[in-house]
Amino acid sequence: MIKLLIRNYYLYKKKKMLSKTKVIKTISGFPENFSIDELVDKMILLDKIEKGIKDADNENVISDEELDKEIEEWLK
């Protein structure tokens, strides 16, 4: 599981640029005082949700059975 998290973080940092509009929209939903970590976490979450929706729309998904097999391999 840790390998997956590290890989996802590396891939995210390698290819992503933020749009000013997305950052402003996200910040507008925050309280008056917040940390940079909270903002970054929220931006990463929103980006991953957006990517997941695009993957699902493009049928770039795997079955539950395939996922179970992958998880078994990770845990070996």
- What does 9-26 look like in DSSP terms, one character per residue? HHHHHHH----HHHHHHH
Task: Calculate mean pLDDT across residues 4-14.
Answer: 58
Q: List all residues 6 or more positions away from 70 whose beta carbon is below 8 Å from its beta carbon.
A: 62
* pTM recorded for the entire structure: 0.59
| Alpha helix (H) residue ranges in 16-76 | 20-28, 36-57, 64-74
Q: pLDDT value at position 13?
A: 59
Residue with the larger pLDDT of the pair 7 and 19: 19
16, burial (CB in 10 Å: exposed 0-12, middle 13-18, buried 19+): exposed
